[in-house]
Structure 1
């Protein structure tokens, strides 16, 4: 991406942050439906994922679900303007919070906030940092300019942005110092430090980092989900009770529990999970590729 293209993206995002949320969301949703009408690699990935995870659905049902997902994905990119450039007050006005724990407890034990890749995950992470110091893990993008922009804007309220490849020692140090760490471990990042466990009945390459970091940092693991509310009302951040007996003595068992928990949340709003990612990119030995 050249300098002009990057400047145009920043200008658009800043412009979106000044428009009413409903206008931006409707525009993104409409364009997402239009994009779905054309063949693309991402459309193929979404349909493969849905076929593997929801084999009981008809082709028509999966097609409708995929179209709704494209609407949400396109919306999420347009809404980055509000999420990355909006004020703390504007974000708070858009988000309902339902938390089973005290989010403002400065004496809380070491905590890993375990998120999942629903389309609104970013806004939940950003919101927390407007209240208390936190660290958030991110995966570096292929485009350096966009990566630096995302890192800067995600951390503008004080969140310490940490690249996912950072040594575990630094993350454990943050946990032991009392700073919560936000991360998501539901994507396929390769077979290193991962296990193959079921995800909707399909073996999925699943990171074991949550268990290992929680064990080393003596941290509780608190799941959270940020969903898009209907009728363009904004978002809802749900923070759950800490997982019982987590981590266990088995990283594989913990990964199974994580995936099972995620499945339950996906079934509540399946169109909002990030099916555009190749969740089954890596396959168990001897298994054929699916994409």
Structure 2
């Protein structure tokens, strides 16, 4: 557990990184990721396990290459919280390209669930999405183990006008936001256990996948709009890609809706496999009788 002094020092360092040129911060994070990859660790083993499960046809050399690139991206993404949490709106404007199939300034935007996917640019993408909407939004977050870090993250993520709620809170909060015409941001592509989940394929593996998105969309009469934050090459910043609303979703079939979400995710992982969040135990929950992959 981090002490208050540790947290204070970390905040001071992040604020320092937020005011120096972004290219220096990004290169520092990249170098730190390369260094950490040289050290055997549990997270490194998780990355390799996930890549072997999802891409058994890849050569060992290709998996090693993608694993190292991903580890560097993952550590860099933590370092770049500095810019995302403490950088000015003007700085974010310069760093993030917006490619949206939805008019975010539309005053008549219907009730909308913005569905984020856990690529390494999700933090930057979520913050800039809220900034671009120019209205109060709602956002669900996964609780942190350290309460001080949680309070910091909530405050900085909410700085452009976001109502934050823990994923553990009641779904009625989300439905109230939708009823009040507040866009809601949430992620659903991680293993949160069997509550409100089902097993459907993800790269050919039966994977515990949330069904809550379809249910919330149905009850809240909301459209579902997927978005992805991409890290641009050569330390140029990020691209926020907002896609067309999913048609005929939810379908009324929880398994079919969960599989559709995984198919969308598979398609975009193949475009930039090094940027998906492989350090997460995506296959932690197994069907009854199966042994753990980890």
Q: Shorter-normalised TM-score: what interval?
A: over 0.9
Counterpart position of 2:49: 48
Is 1:211 aligned to 2:214, yes or no? Answer: yes
**SS in structure 2 at match of 1:16:** helix
Match of 1:199 among 202, 209, 224: 202
Shift of 1:244: 0.9
Kindly state the Cα deviation for residue 202 of structure 1 after the two structures are TM-superposed: 0.6
TM-score, L = length of structure 2: 0.98
**Residue in 1 that maps onto 2:104:** 103
Q: In structure 1, how many angstroms separate the alpha carbons of the residues matched to 2:200 and 2:93?
A: 37
What does residue 257 of structure 2 align with?
Answer: 254
Select which of 147, 151, 154 maps to 1:151: 154
Q: Equivalents in 2 of 1:207, 1:139: separation in Å?
A: 14
- Number of paired residues? 291
Give me the CA root mean square deviation.
0.8
Q: Does 1:88 align with 2:95?
A: no
Residue of structure 1 equivalent to 2:286: 283
Deviation of residue 128 (structure 1)? 2.3
Following superposition, the deviation at residue 89 of structure 1 comes to 1.3
1:36-77 Cα deviation digits (max 9, x unpaired): 111100000000000000110011111111000011011101
Q: SS state of the match for residue 103, structure 1?
A: coil
Q: CA deviation at 1:129?
A: 2.1
2: CA distance, partners of 1:128 / 1:105: 14
Q: Secondary structure of 1:263's match? A: helix
User: SS in structure 2 opposite 1:254?
Assistant: helix
Structure 1 unmatched ranges of 5 or more: none
Which deviates further from its counterpart, 263-272 or 124-133? Answer: 124-133
Aligned residue number for residue 224 of structure 2: 221
Deviations along 1:132-179, whole A, 9 cap, x unmatched?
Answer: 221111010001110110000000111111111121112111112110
Counterpart Cα distance in 2 of 1:78 and 1:159:
23
Partner of 2:3: 2
Q: How do 1:164-203 and structure 2 match up within 5 A?
A: 164-203=167-206
| Correspondence list, 1:17-28, <5 A | 17-28=18-29
CA deviation string 1:187-217 (max 9, x = no partner): 0000111001111111110111100100100
Q: Does 1:139 align with 2:175?
A: no
Q: Which runs of 5+ in 2 are unaligned?
A: none
